[in-house]
Homo-oligomer: A and B are copies of this chain.
Amino acid sequence: MTAKLRISDVAKHAGVSPATVSRVMNGNPKVDPALVQRVQDAAAELGYTASPLARSLALGKTQTVAVLVPDLGNPTFQAILRTLSRAAAGDGYHVLVADSAEVAADEAALALQARRRTDGVVLVAPRMPDDELAAALPRLAPAVLVNRGGDGAPVVAADYGRGLRELIEHLRMLGHRRLLYLAGVPGSASNARRVAAIAEARAAHPDLDIAEAPCGTGFADGSAAVATVRAHEATAVLAYNDLVAMGLLSALHEEGVAVPHEVSVTGFDDIPFARYTTPPLTTASVPTDRMGELAWSAMRALLEDDAAAPPVVLAPTLAVRGSTAPPPAS
């Protein structure tokens, strides 16, 4: 009963040719209603479903897209994958995931490989150098870029610079003048945007003193940065992202430093856990769900409408919570 059925089996059972069965299965309008019925009955009776594999080979389309992420453990990428996956499923597409495990050197090869089994690929925050990306893009098309610029592919990104600017402005309005930025990976595009935003803020507000310290992108990095933070005279800390902020919050708590009473802390991304830290984290909320949806829309446009979607840059929104407050009276 679970034997593999071919289209010819159904054809015989219905007393028609394989071609007719194919037409019926694909809803081809120019078939005799009577035959349609007979074929459908036969198919139902046998429990037949066309082989997606054979179909893919014949049609040249797999109804599947690949999504390449640097790390499936990163909340931001998880959120994007989740919404993208659901949106794609809504349109009858499947998703093949590839995790480069943050090894930039493997990305291009992984993407190419995944692309060959699919109709297109979504590159989420690819870490590979610009020239490598530019070289790979033509071979990957149709492709969509998330959180990374590039030529030859629609882009869906968040405006990290703007997010940090708003965070800085928020702290400034609270009265903070001495800030400390805990940087992410030096080479990354996201970090560069933030650094640029800091430069702008300095120019716009000469009374603002913003120091920068190397840090990292995870809990442990934030936790380890506690010494640096205490050594500085800053009254507020801009963590690279929520993970770093959470690590810092945790370490600060252990050392008995009150947040936000003695020092304010901000994150970035607004991951689901951000609102449940102690105190709840003030952060720049990146609309990852929307990004996942838009990335799919862009891909679908390339796939079906054959038209490239215009670049989309989403503005993070400020989420003010308990980890920021006016600086201590001193």
Query: Contact between A246 and B276 (Cβ–Cβ < 8 Å)?
Result: yes
> A97 near B99 (CB under 8 angstroms)?
no
Please measure, in the bound complex, the distance between the C-alpha atom of A56 and the C-alpha atom of B56, giving whole angstroms.
11
Q: Which residue of the partner chain, among B79, B89, B96, contacts A64 with CB atoms under 8 Å?
A: B96
Question: In residues 60-113 of chain A, which contact B (Cβ within 8 Å)?
Answer: 62, 64, 72-73, 78-79, 81-82, 85-86, 89, 94-99, 101
- A52 / chain B contacts, CB cutoff of 8 Å: 116-117
Nearest B residue to A84, CB-CB: B72
Among B56, B89, B99, which residue has its beta carbon within 8 angstroms of that of A99? B89
Q: How far is the CB of A323 from chain B (nearest CB, A)?
A: 12
- Residues on B with beta carbons closer than 8 Å to the beta carbon of A101: 86
| Total number of A residues with any Cβ neighbor in B under 8 Å | 44
Q: Determine the chain B residues whose CB is within 8 A of the CB of A94 once the complex forms.
A: 96, 98, 114, 117
Let me know if A57 is at the binding interface, CB within 8 A.
Answer: yes
Establish whether residues A78 and B89, one from each chain, have CB atoms under 8 Å apart when the complex forms.
no
B72, A62: Cβ atoms closer than 8 Å: no
Residue in B closest to A218 when the chains form the complex, CB atoms: B272
Interface string of A245-286 (1 = CB under 8 A from B): 011011001000000000000000000110111101000000
- Which B residues are in CB contact (< 8 Å) with A95? 96-98
Q: Are A276 and B219 in contact (CB under 8 A)?
A: yes
B-chain residues with CB within 8 Å of residue A53 when the two chains form the complex: 53, 56-57, 62, 116-117
A51 contact set on B, CB distance < 8 A? 116
A330 CB within 8 Å of chain B: no
A2 within 8 A of B: yes
A49 at the interface (CB under 8 A from B): yes
Give the CA-CA distance A4 to B57 in the complex, in Å.
14
* A positions within 8 Å CB-CB of B: 2, 49, 51-54, 56-57, 62, 64, 72-73, 78-79, 81-82, 85-86, 89, 94-99, 101, 114, 116-117, 138-139, 219, 246-247, 249-250, 253, 272-273, 275-278, 280
25 A-B pairs with CB atoms under 8 Å apart are: A2-B138, A2-B139, A51-B116, A53-B53, A53-B116, A57-B57, A72-B82, A73-B78, A78-B78, A81-B97, A82-B99, A85-B97, A86-B99, A89-B98, A94-B96, A96-B96, A97-B97, A219-B275, A219-B276, A246-B273, A246-B276, A250-B280, A273-B273, A276-B277, A277-B278
